[in-house]
Structure 1
Amino acid sequence: MTTSLPFSRPSTSDIGDIVTAYAGKLMPDVQMQTFSHTHEIFPTRTIKAGAAVSALPYSATRLEDMPIPANGKTYDLFDYVSQNRLVGLLAIKDGQIVHEYHDQGVGPETRWMSMSMAKSVSTTLVGAALLDGHIDSVDDQLVKYMPELGGSGYDGVSIKHLLQMTSGVSWDDTHTTAGSERRIMLDLQVAQKPGEIMKFMASLPRIAEPGQVWNYSTGETHVVGALVKAATGKWLSDYCSETMWSRLGMQADAAWWLEAPDGLEVAGSGICATLHDYARLGLFALSGGVIDGEPVVPAGWFKEATEPRMAGGNPLNYGYMWWPVPDRDGDFSEGAFSARGIFGQYIYINPTRNIVLTVLSCRSKPKFSEAILDNDFFNAVVDALG
């Protein structure tokens, strides 16, 4: 069932055009309203929460400030929040909140857009489908579950190739370039015609052998969503609620954008949820995908999904649509990783230090508009919390 979540609707003039938003051409006040109400721009499907809310207790130890070495300078927490245009920040150490901040009218109840953090949720649902027996192996060919892709650029591509974006299928993910595949996909989403995005994906040529070249592609995550639907017979939102959202003590239902009414979820960018609930997703990942002692994904899934790998003989700092995060020395010894989205959305997980950081932002451009690299901030928090 396609539903929209309860909300306080701003006037139409306060919400910007979504294509203009992706292009980074909205003034800050309109951009703020748009990013906090994207669940009203598109039809959505509800990701239902459970009846009980899990507490996120506050620690007696508070993170007040710390030096942030970056760009050959030393910044502080106030610089990071203001210059990187944060609207929400939650820091959790050993299961307790050590810092929480909200800005620009965004509060604990605001359902902020995930952008590409949704990719990490979508691939985790592939792990759940593996454990549930709906998918046999990540080494299976996509056409085993989606025969309609036979003869397309995805014929001969494995699930693993799809998850790590090494399918070899052509794609340009530049949000600010009209005519890029990413913008064409957005246009199809705006048009709200069911099945058109998958038809577009199936029309793309393969320009490299699977497994040889990494190419970031939001379109590939849409294929992930279609795969989960084909394998489980369930909408992505419903399967997410069944396996995770209803069991993690989320404070609220979330929404997931749809390609069309009663169509597929936009698996690569479409979750709208609260700051605390994004943090609960981070704690779930920190646990290795276990809820109340019961695994949701196969043993070792999160290690496999979040570690650096090789593609075509070259190092690849990308997992199954999760980003490994190097520590201050540039290595990955602490096993930290993140979900991240354009305009500055992050869930950072450090299993060695038992830290989860959630960042929600409203930056001027989709990419590269941050004044302080977020990884530098994450490492500064790790240093401060010890």
Structure 2
Amino acid sequence: MAFSRQLLIGAMTAALVVPMPVLAQQQLPAQLLQGAGSEVPVATQVMRWHMNDADVNSFAFRNMDQLFTTRTVPHSGAVWTLPKVERAADFTYNFGGKTITAQEALERTYTNALLIMKDGRIVTEIYRNGSNERTRFMGWSMTKSVTSTLVGAALEDGLIASLDDQITRYLPELKGSGYDGVTIRQILQMRSGVAYEERYDFANPGIAASNHINALVKNVVRFADAARTIKRAHKPGEVFAYKTIDTAVLGWLIERVSGGSVAAYTARKLWEPLGTEADGFYIMDGQPGTGREFSGAGYNATLRDWARFGQMMLNGGIANGKRVVSEEWVKLAQAPAGAETGVLGGYGYQWWTMPNSAAYSAIGLQGQYVYIDPTSRTVVVKLSYFPPQEEAAEQETLAFLAAASAWTPKD
């Protein structure tokens, strides 16, 4: 009996020291295992890989500084006070054969934050899903409109002699590529003609998706460097084709002619004179010393500071009584280079122009808008979390923005 008891105790002791199976660590998707290895931690790569997904993007789009190396664009000096006269958003709009209230639109169109300004005064300011006035929201391709403004500033500073200069005058690294013979103006208008299809099919990645993976998820290349070897698809100036690589080249141009970082030039020529109330930041495509600001789609700012950017444009380049960019540039930026067709209308200098309207807008991936209507003196900033490829939400949001512009708040 004693012997059996000893055996039992021994068996129990042995069971306690047998190692338990180790839980499997996160696995990288096959697309991230291809090509050069990355020093970015696996968990971070996985989160970057999923940051646009519908079940996490509401959070990810307002916490990009937790996912990426960033470069701060500091605010400084007197803040441009935006008068506030709060009014209930009591307007409606029609979509899909239904009349929908502005309040219903918030959830229907995946809204994180909304601000409506009328004639320079905030009439509606709404934060949702845990965001607040200190939250800095990812602009995605609204960043293109920021980069355009920096090009305008560099032109006014004499750092760029002419928009009709070929880009290789300033970036000789692009000689022999598809950008050879392309002017700065053609790049601003997304008419470079280079062979870069803005398609993000990550299951079968093409040049754009591969550049996203390698530059932004893995940080093993610089996003703009794809321009060095890119081919030509069309004669420069002839065909409009939206592509982030064009804006990345413009960011590289700003870096070269300013002699510093894109962030530093943004602070000096835009963020400080704009009278912003908070620091902005760019996400980077690598660590300091090698990485660049993602000037094509990586700028983050508060709701009110995005609104200040829009109000400056509405004021013809003036913010808080100070000239930020020339009135001529503002007019050029919002002038469509071609016919206004399709849902989004036309395209100026990195700004979308609304069809059958004087309105124009900075528009970012999955529902980011700085919408400006000179006719009604309205600025609307809507920061969203559309599911990927959600076309209905985009179409409904455009109806909402037009109605918000036409809305006259009650005194």
TM over 0.5: yes
1:210-229 superposed matches below 5 A: 210-229=236-255
Partner of 1:233: 259
Cα RMSD of the aligned pairs, angstroms, is 2.3
Match of 1:183 among 203, 209, 214: 209
Partners of 1:19 and 1:186 within 8 A in 2 = no
What residue in structure 2 maps to residue 261 of structure 1? 287
* Alignment map for 1:23-172 (pairs within 5 Å): 24=53, 26-27=54-55, 30-59=56-85, 62-172=87-197
Select the residue among 332, 336, 340 that pairs with 1:308.
Answer: 336
With over 3 angstroms needed to count, the CA separation of the structure-2 counterparts of 1:366 and 1:295, relative to structure 1, is farther
Q: Could you tell me how far apart the structure 2 residues matched to 1:364 and 1:299 are?
A: 37
**Deviation of the 1:191 alpha carbon:** 2.4
The Cα offsets for residues 251-294 of structure 1, whole Å up to 9 and x where unpaired, read as 11011011212332101111111111111111111112224554
Say if 2:189 and 2:337, in contact at 8 Å, map to a contact too.
Answer: no
Match of 1:9 in 2: none
- What secondary structure, in the 3-state scheme, does the structure 1 residue paired with 2:327 have? coil
Alpha-carbon distance between aligned partners in 1 of 2:399 and 2:159, rounded to the nearest angstrom: 40
Whole-Å separation in 1 of the counterparts to 2:389 and 2:48:
12
Instruction: Judge conservation of contact 1:325–1:375 (CA < 8 Å) in 2.
Output: no
Closer, same or farther: CA 248–299 of 1 in aligned 2, 3 Å: closer
Q: Say if 2:345 and 2:353, in contact at 8 Å, map to a contact too.
A: no
Could you list the runs of 4 or more consecutive aligned residues of structure 1 that deviate by over 4 angstroms after TM superposition? 12-16
1:321 counterpart = 2:350? yes
Q: Which runs of 5 or more residues in structure 1 are unaligned?
A: 1-11
Separation of aligned partners in 2, 1:87 and 1:14: 23
Match of 2:398 among 356, 375, 378: 375
Partner SS, residue 300 of structure 1: helix
**In the alignment, is the contact (CA less than 8 A) between 1:168 and 1:212 conserved in 2?**
yes
Give aligned-pair identity as a percent. Answer: 35
Deviation of 1:224 (Å) = 0.8
Matches within 5 A, 1:279-290: 279-290=307-318
Tell me the SS of whatever aligns to 1:154: coil
Alpha carbons 2:118, 2:378 under 8 Å: kept: yes
CA distance in 1, matches of 2:401, 2:139: 19
Determine the C-alpha separation between the residues in 2 that align with 1:70 and 1:15: 39
Shift of 1:78: 2.1
Aligned counterpart in structure 1 of residue 298 of structure 2, from 270, 283, 287: 270
Q: Give a deviation string over 1:207-231, Cα, whole Å, max 9, x none.
A: 1100111111011111110011111
Q: Which residue of structure 1 lines up, in the alignment, with residue 384 of structure 2? A: 361
User: Residue 352 of structure 2 aligns to which amino acid in structure 1?
Assistant: W
The counterpart of 1:19, out of the listed 19, 42, 49, is 49
- The structure with the largest alpha-carbon Rg is 2
**Alignment check: 8 A CA contact 1:201 1:219 kept:** yes
TM-score (norm 1): 0.88
Q: Distance in 2 between matches of 1:135 and 1:265?
A: 20
Q: Distance in 2 between matches of 1:14 and 1:372?
A: 33
Farther-moved stretch of structure 1 (364-373 vs 294-303): 364-373
TM-score (norm 2): 0.82
* Cα 1:371–1:300 shift into 2, 3 Å: closer
Q: Does 1:336 align with 2:359?
A: yes
- Please state how far the C-alpha of 1:369 moved relative to its aligned partner: 5.0
Q: Aligned equivalents of 1:176 and 1:96: distance in 2? A: 42
